[in-house]
Amino acid sequence: MREAGKTIFGGSLLTLNVPLVLASRSPRRSALLRRLDVPFIVHPSLLEEVWPENDPPGVAVESIALQKAKPVSLAHPEALTLGADTVVVLEGEVLGKPGSEAEAHAMLDRLSGGTHTVYTGLALLHPSSGRSITDHEATQVTFAELDDGEITRYVATGSPMDKAGAYGIQDDYGAFFVSRIDGDFYNVIGLPLHCLYRMLTEHFADLLGTPPVHESTAS
């Protein structure tokens, strides 16, 4: 769409007058971004993550999201680059992606019957204006009691192996285990949409275009 000589990206509630770059290879984040009806390109960051040992989880995920987004943003200085990082925290311990089926089984066994917290950090960078904003969302997730057979069958699907905490709430099977959520559902998938929308409207309002008005016709 083009308006007054300016390119507008998007055609619904949210529009951008600069390109959007997702610094993540996560298919789940891409799927959620597509819901916003805003075009974007995927440019995964190849930078090795360094977890800030002494920072609380919310600060740490913001830091890693920024680490991921910075090198990508330098390749797209006129664009708005989005970085994200999601972790599962149980009793103060960070549970990342399992390195083996045995580790995935052990993680799920620990999550069974209890409540953990999912943190997602977001970073938005616009190099041409010198702006860099970070924020995070936290969601409490409670698991039902799982028996060993359920865990074994789920791990055998292979689904837990690329997910923090060894499960995905968006999966047909992982969703079976979640008995309660307190907070943003999309945060558990890996991209808290309300947090992202708030960051855009509060800190990058000048980069937002005017959504088109669709006239209705009386019947």
Q: Which residues are catalytic?
A: 85
Whole-angstrom CA distances from 1 to 9, 62, 207 are: 7, 33, 15
Q: What are phi and psi of 205, to 5 degrees?
A: -60, -30
What residues contact 108, with CB distance under 8 A and at least 6 apart?
146, 151, 154, 155, 160, 166, 167, 177
At 98, list the tokens. Answer: 């399992």
Using alpha carbons, select from 29, 20, 209 the residue that is nearest to residue 121: 29
